[in-house]
Structure 1
Amino acid sequence: MNTKVKILDEGNLDVEIIKEAGEIIRNGGLVAFPTETVYGLGANALDSEAVEKIFKAKGRPQDNPLIVHIAEIKDMKPLVIDISPVALKFIQNFWPGPMTIILPKSSIIPDITSASLDSVGIRMPSNIIARELIKAAKVPIAAPSANVSGKPSPTDVDRCIEDLNGKVDLILGGSMCDVGVESTVIDCTVSPSCILRPGGITLEMLREIEKEVYIDPAVMKKAEGNNRPKSPGMKYRHYAPNAPVKIVKGNLNKTIAKINEMVENYISENKTVGIIATDETREFYKNALVISVGSRHNMLSVSKNLFETLRSFDDNKVDIIISEAFEEKGIGLAIMNRLNKSAGFDIIKV
């Protein structure tokens, strides 16, 4: 397949490129596109054959449900059976934005889109390219992250090209994604509502709307059994670079000392080491490729840079990656969810 790549200026969109992309979606093709979270790989959510192409392009298991993206709140009505009062409050407060709401699906959602569940995740992105693409397609767009399944999600167009060139019809490029981790997924088919995947809309923000919102216990532990996941990101190893990842968790000074000790041990084994550090700690490490993901005083900078940092270690072909841990509050919960999964929950406590 000959993949076209078109770069767009978000401040001055080329209408003809958006129109072409919409036609590809409407005709059963695949388009990668930017959102505020990560780049997505889109197909017509109501076309089973088109959706199947997503799974083939990504190498994604078909029991992993897809999120359906819409451009306007009114577009949601034919896709679901019911919108609960609390779901409506979440929508009014956080859409457009990095939040997916799970609701009972209508009969027009194919089983392949929802992984044969009786529910579906719906999201209205805030990114202008994503929204205009959906409008041009005139259909809802099913879209997981635009990467090879299991790898860190792409937050810029170059990574989409790296993973999907020759596998999709068109890649739309924009600026680097603002949030850097996938959307919060909140299940509104249960009461109280339950967070199945943490993201940019945090637990604290959601609890301002519904005090009893809770986090599924599976979010911060290794997946067990063969249950069908109700949300993307719950079951399989995700966000993993080529090199194994280890997380050191605890007091920051003890963390730094432990990481330096580990580096020396790996060097004695002739291994190259990558360290995920922060602006506050990077100067304390040596004899390794040290990358700061941002400042601990600005956790959004950490989430924005996390996946690109993991991919950078692959570029440099390190043998092992060691990461500091982060406080599990606010968007830090989403950061640690992604880090834990990238490490296969290989966590060293100090």
Structure 2
Amino acid sequence: MITEVLAIDDEQSLDKALAVLRSGELVAIPTETVYGLAADANQPDAVRKIFAAKGRPADHPLIVHVDSVDKVERWVAQVPECVAKLADAFWPGPLTLILPKANHVSTVVTGGHSTVGIRVPNQSGVLKLLSMLDSGLAAPSANPYKRISPTNAEQVMYGMDGKIAAVLDGGPCEVGLESTILDVSTDVPRILRAGPITKSQIETVLGCEVHIPQSHNVAVPGNVKAHYQPSKPVQLLSSELLATTLTGLSRSAQNDIAVLYYSEPLQMALEGSAAVKMKLSSDKQLYGQNLYYALHQLDQADVSQIWVELPPTDELWLDVHDRLSRSSAK
């Protein structure tokens, strides 16, 4: 199969992507979070192709992307009152809501579960495509299973070229990390995956406490221990430990290590080292936007391992910690 790259801001390209989706094939789409590997959620056979292309287990549910909150009722058994509040505050945007699925929603989409994840992405071209399709797009990240999520079309092609029909190129993703997943299928809202929308922000909108379980066995996208991983092993180290450990190595050993960091003190400590170095911003929004891009770049460097400076530990950085801990898991 030849994978075609299409410009999302071109009308003919959107028409071509629409035809591909209606024919039951896969199209990688840009969103504000990461690129997704999309199929028409009303076509179970097309959705099965997502799992085949990624090598993803069939019991892992997918998120259904729709173009407005008005479309939610098509996919769920009931729409609780909180959905309107959350949609008004955060949609289009990086928040996925878990709700009881409607009877017609295929268990291929939900991984065999009785709930479905729904969100409205904040990408104008994709919203237009969804409106034209008049359906939902089931879409996990557009990368081989457990590998780094792509935040530009080139990264999609690196992992999916020849496996899917097309990629819609919308440029780099503005957020760069996957959505917050909020379970509102029960009386107590629960965050099942940390993301750009924080617990405090959701609590302000809902006016009630939102739980973040220390651990849970609910099947949601990105919830396996080892995930978001480069092909090379990742180590998370404090600033001090990273600096002292690297300094204690020979220059030839340093040359075999890539270091991803953000702090000024560590930058000074790394001066003169032979390691491959890449600096991210200390601003959380910019850090998150560029994290996967940086990991992709360092994964292609001529090194055998990647060392990452541990970022700050406050609530705003919770999603970054989640992704890095899974990227370094054995």
Q: Where on the TM-score scale, by shorter chain, does this alignment land: which range?
A: over 0.9
Larger CA deviation: 62-71 vs 259-268: 259-268
Q: What is the alpha-carbon distance in structure 1 between the residues aligned to residue 10 and residue 143 of structure 2?
A: 25
Aligned 1:39-58 pairs, distance under 5 A:
39-58=35-54
Q: Is the 8 A contact 2:92 2:122 kept in 1?
A: yes
Matched, 1:239 2:236: no
* Cα shift readout 1:194-225 (whole Å, capped 9, x = no counterpart): 00111111112111123301212128xxxxxx
1:279-308 residue CA offsets vs partner (Å, 9 max, x unmatched):
5232321221111121x2x10011011111
1:262 is matched with 245
Q: Which residue, out of 312, 318, 321, partners 1:336? A: 321
| 1:295-334 map, 5 Å | 296=282, 298-334=283-319
Percentage of pairs with the same residue: 32
Whole-Å Cα distance in 2 between the matches of residues 56 and 205 of structure 1? 37
Alignment of 1:193-232 (within 5 A): 193-210=189-206, 211-218=208-215, 227=217, 229-232=218-221
**What SS class does the counterpart of residue 209 from structure 1 fall into?**
helix
TM-score, length-normalised on structure 1? 0.88
- Corresponding residue for 1:293? 280
Of 274-283 and 86-95, deviating more is 274-283
Where do 5+ consecutive residues of structure 2 fail to align? none
Query: Which structure 2 residues correspond to residues 17-32 of structure 1 after superposition, within 5 A?
Result: 17-32=13-28
Alignment-derived partner of residue 132 in structure 2: 136
CA distance in 1, matches of 2:232, 2:246: 15
Q: Within 2, Cα distance between the matches of 1:317 and 1:193?
A: 45
Q: Secondary structure at the match of 1:84?
A: coil
**1:172 matched to 2:168:** yes
Matching of residue 187 in structure 1 with residue 183 in structure 2:
yes
* Residue of structure 2 aligned with 1:86, choices 82, 85, 88: 82
Question: TM-score when scaled to structure 2?
Answer: 0.94
Partners of 2:69 and 2:84 within 8 A in 1: no
1:321 deviates by: 1.3
- Name the counterpart of 1:7: 7
User: Residue 238 of structure 1: SS of its match in structure 2?
Assistant: coil
Unaligned runs of 5+ in 1: 220-226, 250-254, 346-350
CA deviations over 1:261-292 (Å, ceiling 9, x no partner): 32245547846111111152323212211111
Residue 153 of structure 1 pairs with residue 149 of structure 2: yes
Q: Secondary structure at the match of 1:76?
A: helix
Matches of 2:249 and 2:230, distance apart in 1: 18
How big is the alpha-carbon RMSD for the aligned residues of Structure 1 and Structure 2?
Answer: 1.7
Distance in 1, matches of 2:165 and 2:23, equals 11
Q: Distance in 1 between matches of 2:305 and 2:329?
A: 13
Give 1:4 deviation, angstroms: 0.8
Equivalent pair of 1:70/1:131 in contact (CA under 8 Å): yes
Q: Secondary structure at the match of 1:208?
A: helix
Asked if the contact 1:303/1:331 (under 8 Å) is kept, the reply is: no
CA distance in 1, matches of 2:318, 2:52: 31
Amino acid at match of 1:326: P
In 1, Cα distance between the equivalents of 2:313 and 2:187?
A: 24
- Stretch deviating more after TM superposition (281-290 or 299-308): 281-290
Shift of 1:117: 0.6
Query: Does the CA-based 8 Å contact 1:23-1:137 persist in structure 2?
Result: no
Give the CA deviation at 1:67: 0.2
- Structure 2 residue aligned with 1:275, among 259, 262, 266? 259
Distance (whole Å) between structure 2 residues aligned to residue 262 and residue 7 of structure 1:
46
1:116 is matched with 112
